[in-house]
Amino acid sequence: MNLAILKGRIGDRAAAESLYRRALESFEKSLGPEHPRVGQALGNFASLAMGQGDYREAESLLRRAQAIFEQAFGPEHPAVAACLGGIGETLLKRRRYAEAEVLLQRALAVFEQALGGEHPEVGRTSSLLAFVAVKTGRHEDARRLAERARAIDESAFGPDHHTAALHRVDLARIDRMQGRLDAAEQALDRARADLESARGKDDPLMAPVLLELAHLYRDQKRFEESEALYEESAAIIGRAAGERHPNLVIVLEGRAELFRAWGREAEAAVLDERARELAEAFGLSPE
């Protein structure tokens, strides 16, 4: 199992998948299919599937793990909450926001009761709920949740941890949606500088920063700068996850909006079609 995790971290996904399947079969045979160790293996396998953008497979694995943990520990155990949160995230990624929110709220309640209101799992779940709130137009709810997540992670990891930069991106997204473009730009510039300094400009975590900055520049009608950042974020995603990954849908859709605003309708139509094809392949609902 440790070797499978290592293979996944270094990007050898085929080897990692093979090792996870072998480990899962071994645990099921030696311990029985309902043993918590099987649930743990399913959760690890689901993490690999999430990274590959195979959200339907990840959901299936996590639902199996959830059933095992509920039977072993009861419905209020953190392991069950982790599965609920993971399933919620797979639904969020597929743009099924109402379903995602129900599961994420359940996960949050269990984490708060079992681990306390300041635990990082509470922060992570609050951050996911903030994204749901943004996507459903509840910007003040989103800001409250994002600020809570930021405060929890800062207390747990310190103000210089990479999560601080990602929380700035979340808050900048809300500022942009509310028309506070100057505040959004300041937050994104700081997030970009901090991540570049800590992890390098090609780190996969740079992609969401650059993507949100590209959206912002598009809204500010800084079209050439926006296009360059869309291209840079797509390149980072491609190097990290391959040329067919659902995260590229957001890039394609953003560039299509950019080209429409720029008056380049034919190019926008081509990108719209590419985004639709990729979204359908990975089971993403239309927005």
Q: Per-residue pLDDT for 5 more than 80?
A: no
* Rounded Cα distance, 241 and 11, in Å: 8
Decide: helix, strand or coil at residue 96: coil
- Which is higher by pLDDT, 7 or 246? 246
* Rounded Cα distance, 121 and 104, in Å: 11
Q: What is the pLDDT of residue 46?
A: 95
**What single DSSP character describes residue 223?**
H
* Rounded Cα distance, 43 and 28, in Å: 14
What is the rounded average pLDDT of the residues 56-84?
98
Residue identified by tokens 């730009």 is: 185
With cut-offs at 50, 70 and 90, classify the pLDDT of residue 1.
Answer: very low
What tokens were used for 132?
Answer: 């749901």
Q: Per-residue pLDDT for 264 more than 50?
A: yes
Domains and CATH numbers, the chain: 1-119 (1.25.40.10), 181-287 (1.25.40.10)
Q: Per-residue pLDDT for 70 more than 60?
A: yes
* Rounded Cα distance, 110 and 80, in Å: 8
Flag whether the pTM goes above 0.85.
yes
Terminal-residue alpha carbon distance, the chain: 38
Contact present, 145 and 133 (Cβ < 8 Å): yes
**What single DSSP character describes residue 151?**
H
Q: What is the pLDDT of residue 6?
A: 45
DSSP output for 153-183: HHHHH-TTSHHHHHHHHHHHHHHHHTT-HHH
DSSP output for 235-266: HHHHHHH-SS-THHHHHHHHHHHHHHHTT-HH
